[in-house]
Structure 1
Amino acid sequence: MSDVTAVAEIIFGVIQQQRALHADRPVLIGVAGAQGSGKTTACQLLEMSNRPRFAHFSLDDVYWSKEERADLARLIHPLFVTRGPPGTHDLDLANATIAALMRASAKSETRLPRFDKARDEPEPKSDWPVYRGRPEAILFDGWCLGATAPEDGRPLNPVESIDSDGRWRNAQRVFLQDDYAPLFARFDAIVYLKPSSWDVVRRWRGEQEAQLLGRALSAEESAKLDRFVMHYERITRSMMAGGHVADVVVELDEERRVLGVAK
């Protein structure tokens, strides 16, 4: 059994447990994990298996547009121009999509949002895939899904050093507490894929980029990636230390192999 298949089977077990408890409606299952942990791939594997019928979309699919993030950057802090941290997602869209899937009938057609990372813009709604019918389970994955507000402290990296007065970090904590926590509370269960260290997260993200490009990263691309992942470091480290509300924690080694499962 491959590593991603092992993770998918663990998630499937959680889904089946929740379906037994909520047989009258679709179950809502979250899959959290650091960048490159394999969460989206595991969800896609389950979606293709069609056992039961899954609808799947991601926190990455509901990013605000560049213009909307620029407005956030002007209002709060320039670092919000970069997508990823809490505050850069359209949670109304996420909630509305979940609600539509929950009330779907056998004849329903529900558009699932998509974001074009190459353009750094949401895809036109006319291009969103259509989910037909009523799902038995809704899978939603995201890097900070289930995260609780991290403690503040001295800057962890050069990106955080730009946030000299802590406005960016504090705003993320407020967003997590006021906007993201109510979304997380809707889930029947959240599965967290826990990395073995922060350093491996950067390696995984680099491998992910190289795979998308079909080649090794250049020195310039690698430097840009180093800076990009710094936006995620504080919350990722906090989640690794227990700062989350996940129901199931799947511990992964550096090669994404399952080391253990805790509930």
Structure 2
Amino acid sequence: MDLDDLSVGSGATTTTEGRTIAYREYGDPDGDPVLFHHGTPGSRILPAAFHETAREASIRLLAPDRPGQGRSDPAPDADALDWADDAAAVADDAGVDRFAVLGFSGGGRFALACAHEHPDRVTRVATVAADGPPDAPTDGVGLQNRFLDVLARRAPPLLGLLFALQARTADRTEAEDALDLLTDADPETLDARIGDRPIGPLVALDLREAFRQGHDGIYREFRASARDWSFDLADVEPSVRLWHGADDQNVSPATAEYLATRLPDAEASVLSDEDHLSALLACHESALTWLAEPLR
């Protein structure tokens, strides 16, 4: 898939430790800046689905790869708070001072960490289908995702083996199989929400890019999410809005309310008849519009 028509361009910055963080830009290059935090696994590719929406809404959407995924260098000892400084470095490289953050799925933790560490720069936080800390609810989670969570807590080496096997087959993942990991919705219904562009090939490309360097970065993120978030939700100062699909089997729909009750300034919305990916496509326009308000 050629992303040239679905993005503004790409960039990369170097951290103080000498690591490269790659990112891609979507929307309006002169618009209000929003940093997108991808899922686990994920990459800078998925937000291409929102290029037209961001452009029409005058939003500059910056989407970096986290360490060990896509084209960003690994950082084996880093945690979510370290990522907050990486995200700030991306903003610096793009010439951005104040910005909003949007986190999808496993990226929700990193979006909140960014706001925790940089409340002077992060204006608002939006999350969609975000996971929660180890004590978050698991009601409604499918058997496969429950199994992965158990492995992350009790048998990390086996979890690593499963991700290693997935990395071996990522390059051969078809669009239908990639979608099956995130949604039960009809592909045509999903396509209609992003201007009748096919979402399946984009999700498959995003998955392949996530495993470009192998499985280690993804494994470390998944394991850390199930064990220790390394920061207190009560210390997140910016306003937070959480969206979650009522039919989400990847992350419990109850997680949104769980997070909202622990954040100082937060509101949760549960979307009926939406699941993990479909919730993102259903609310992305509302989320981006809400995020941009304080920047204008």
**Into which bin does the TM-score normalised by the smaller protein fall?**
0.3 to 0.5
Could you say which structure has the larger radius of gyration? 1
Q: What's the TM-score once normalised by structure 1's chain length?
A: 0.37
Ranked by relative contact order (alpha carbons within 8 Å, sequence separation 6 or more), the top structure is: 1
Q: What's the TM-score once normalised by structure 2's chain length?
A: 0.34
